[in-house]
Chains A and B, each alone.
Chain A
């Protein structure tokens, strides 16, 4: 069998989301339309134009992680380490029992460890260089989640990090699939981002894409005539990926489905007059999966909630699938946009949608008729889901799409 025909399955999910810690808590909240968006509590947001976020509540790193890891890790890494533990547990894989060079870690990141970095920069400029933690050398760094997961679990196979904003969450999973096709037994992939601190907030505001509506029910309304930007959140998901036949051979407790297709494009430069590459990314993912548009039972949208970007995404979907021809949803309306963590969380939701035969809702949105989307709003929809498309775009023109499919 040629490497490109090797089927790659997801066998474990680890979720840390603003509306639920753990895959099942997240999924139960998401099916109910329960939001994790609220007023920022991690710092006093009064002086900032955007005062809402999707924050993870009730996460105490010390309850889950060894004391040695706490002083050297940013919150995003602590969340990622715990999500990885949960993904292994869900997959019933004990990494210590597998050869260390046959397991890799490939995550995405968009900002690195901002909260840690802010604290150390404050120490640098208020007290001096002798007051900066030695751990700042890596705690802020994009690759730190991959590195710490690798060290904690003894995974020394192909590893790395992809940085392409929200699209990175899918690009990392695609890279994980490549490595499995080249012979790596197992890859932990996905992403967790968290930078809800003043420094991280200012950096996010610079995109001009944060909503300044501070009513939690009106702030993040993708595909709505009132769309005015997004709410930022923290969290994401990590997934255990294995070669499908090997997963079956080891008697994996469950096979959520396979990563069947992937496509990515980069937009032309702004002002070029040429169209966005998003539609092409979707078409590439379908072709890679050997799927036709009719095979797709639901689309998890990128859902930028910037009017122009919503138009581009709606057009890409309707041009490929037809007007109102496929259910579209954006459960990220309950979490905010999680940057690199968003698409892995959507992948988890897609697999759980397949398992339970339901499409989770988007909340709060009144779809603008001009978009011609069949948006699942307010309540979950019962539907047999065998294939799903997840779309993710990154600031700077990154477009990525993944097709997931039930493993027949």
Chain B
């Protein structure tokens, strides 16, 4: 059972732990609508990030959810879409 909603702070923490942080990108800033690519994360970084979200929140993200989510806001929405029904149910 998922413990809580997936937040921007969760994503920041997981990005840092799994893929590190680009010195040129301010992860703590207002990044919700910034492309992952401009934050310095390429596809493998997103794969690692997705894997960490899956095991922490006990969900399965399909490949499209990862590749279609170009910004933190989109990824957070995709993750929460998998979490919320479970919590309601």
Contacts and interface: CB of A to CB of B under 8 A. Distances in A.
Contact of A135 (B21, B23, B44): B44
Interface residues of A toward B: which range? 10 to 19
Contacts of A265: none
A98 interface: no
B2 interface: no
Nearest to A73: B20
B51 A68 contact: no
A75 to B, nearest CB: 15
A134 B51 contact: yes
Contacts of B55: 130-131
Nearest to A138: B44
Given A68-B40, A135-B44, A130 B51 contact: yes
Contacts of A70: 20
Contacts of B44: 72, 134-135, 137
A66 B19 contact: no
Nearest to A65: B20
A137 B43 CA distance: 13
Contact of B23 (A66, A71, A133, A137): A66
A134 B54 contact: no
A68 B47 CA distance: 14
B20 A72 contact: yes
B54 A130 contact: yes
A133 B20 contact: no
A225 interface: no
A69 B19 CA distance: 8
A303 B17 CA distance: 43
Contacts of B51: 130, 134
Contacts of A130: 51, 54-55
Interface residues of B, number: 15
Interface string A66-91: 11111110000000000000000000
27 contacts: A66-B20, A66-B22, A66-B23, A67-B21, A68-B19, A68-B21, A68-B22, A68-B40, A68-B45, A71-B17, A71-B18, A71-B20, A71-B48, A72-B19, A72-B20, A72-B44, A130-B51, A130-B55, A131-B55, A133-B18, A133-B48, A134-B44, A134-B48, A134-B51, A135-B44, A135-B48, A137-B44
A71 B19 contact: yes
B20 A68 contact: yes
Contacts of A135: 44, 48
B28 to A, nearest CB: 13
Interface string B15-48: 0011111110000000000000000100011011
Interface of A: 66-72, 130-131, 133-135, 137
A68 B21 CA distance: 5
Interface-centre pick from B17, B51, B54 (highest chain A CB count, 10 A): B51
Contacts of A133: 18, 48
A67 B41 CA distance: 12
Contacts of B19: 68, 71-72
A72 to B, nearest CB: 7
Contacts of B23: 66-67
A292 B69 CA distance: 66
Contacts of B54: 130
A369 B17 CA distance: 57
Given A66-B20, A71-B20, 12 more contacts: A66-B23, A67-B23, A68-B19, A68-B21, A68-B22, A68-B40, A68-B45, A70-B20, A71-B17, A134-B44, A134-B51, A137-B44
Interface-centre pick from A67, A68, A70, A131 (highest chain B CB count, 10 A): A68
A134 B47 contact: yes
B48 A67 contact: no
Would you list the 5 A-B pairs with minimal beta carbon distance, nearest first?
A134-B48, A67-B20, A134-B47, A68-B20, A67-B21
B31 to A, nearest CB: 15
B20 to A, nearest CB: 4
Nearest to A68: B20
A130 B47 CA distance: 11
A66 B45 CA distance: 14
Interface-centre pick from A66, A72, A134 (highest chain B CB count, 10 A): A134
Nearest to A71: B20
Nearest to B47: A134
A333 B16 CA distance: 41
A69 B20 contact: yes
Contacts of A71: 17-20, 48
